[in-house]
Amino acid sequence: MENLLHWIDQRAKFKEDQRDIEIAYKYQPTSSRPNSKGMNSGNTFKQLSLKEIIAQQTKTNYEVKQRLDTNESSLKDIHHKMDFLLTAFAEQNTLNKRVELKLIKLAAALPVATNIE
């Protein structure tokens, strides 16, 4: 009995999904809907099967994944360049501090710095 109820429930969900797909296609303009061969044919339209919809979605998902992978590699490259730039800034800051200390010592050692007239 439970199996029968489960099967009926699954069948009802399938029907709801099928109805949602049909509604989604009804709201799209007729001229932009491809027929089963992937070509526009004016006002005539053959509704895509679930298998074809899944194939199209799989292709779309694959293309999106490729774009995301490309973006990820670009972001990694930018991250490495930023790390290099931050390291260069830190090294330059250290060098500037050393030069500043040497200039302070040099200025203190010069007699002109103490006798401003």
Q: What pLDDT, on a 0 to 100 scale, did the predictor assign at position 34? A: 53
Q: What is the pTM of this model?
A: 0.43
**pLDDT-flagged residues of the chain (< 50):** none
Phi/psi of residue 29, each to 5°?
-60, 140
Which pLDDT belongs to residue 24?
A: 73
Nearest to 42 by CA among 29, 31, 34, 32: 31
Q: Which residues of 60-72 are buried (b: 16+ CB within 10 A; e: fewer)?
A: eeeeeeeeeeeee
Q: Where are the beta strands (DSSP E) in the chain?
A: none
Each residue's pLDDT tens digit, 39-53: 555 555 678 888 888
